[in-house]
């Protein structure tokens, strides 16, 4: 391992903004995307249940 301290690790040899910016952007978007898809799924399910209910009350 090439790091002597946590400070040195987070400094990334002076490239902290670029390295952490790159990894951070990936991590953020890769958390947001599944979250958005989950919301879309929930909404689709809700819609379907509403349709089901509407059909049942028709009888």
Partner 1 sequence: MNLETEKLGFYRYSSPQTFYPLAGKMLPWFWVVATLFGIAGLWVSFFVAPTDATQGEAYRIIFVHVPASWMSMFIYIVMAAWAGIGLALGTRLSGMMAQALAPTGALMAALSLLTGSLWGRPMWGTWWIWDARLSSELILFFLYVGFIALQAAIDDPRRADKAGAILALVGVVNVPIIYFSVIWWNSLHQGSSVSLTRSPSMAQTMFAGMILMALCFWMYSIAVSLMRVRAIIVERERNSEWIRAEVKYAVE
CB of 35 to partner 1, least distance (A): 10
Max Cα-Cα span within the chain: 74
Does the footprint of partner 1 cover residue 9 (CB under 8 A)?
yes
CB of 57 to partner 1, least distance (A): 14
Structure tokens at 57: 């009350």
Q: Answer yes or no whether residue 54 interacts with partner 1 by CB under 8 A.
A: no
Quote the CA–CA distance of 26 and 32 in Å, as a whole number: 10
We find the least distance from the C-beta atom of residue 22 to partner 1, in angstroms, to be: 4
């Amino acid at each position: 391992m090439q790091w002597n301290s946590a400070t040195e690790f987070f400094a990334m040899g002076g490239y902290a903004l670029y390295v952490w910016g790159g990894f951070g952007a990936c991590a953020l978007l890769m958390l947001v995307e599944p979250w958005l898809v989950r919301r879309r799924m929930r909404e689709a399910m809700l819609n379907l249940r509403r349709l089901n209910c509407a059909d049942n009350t028709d009888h």
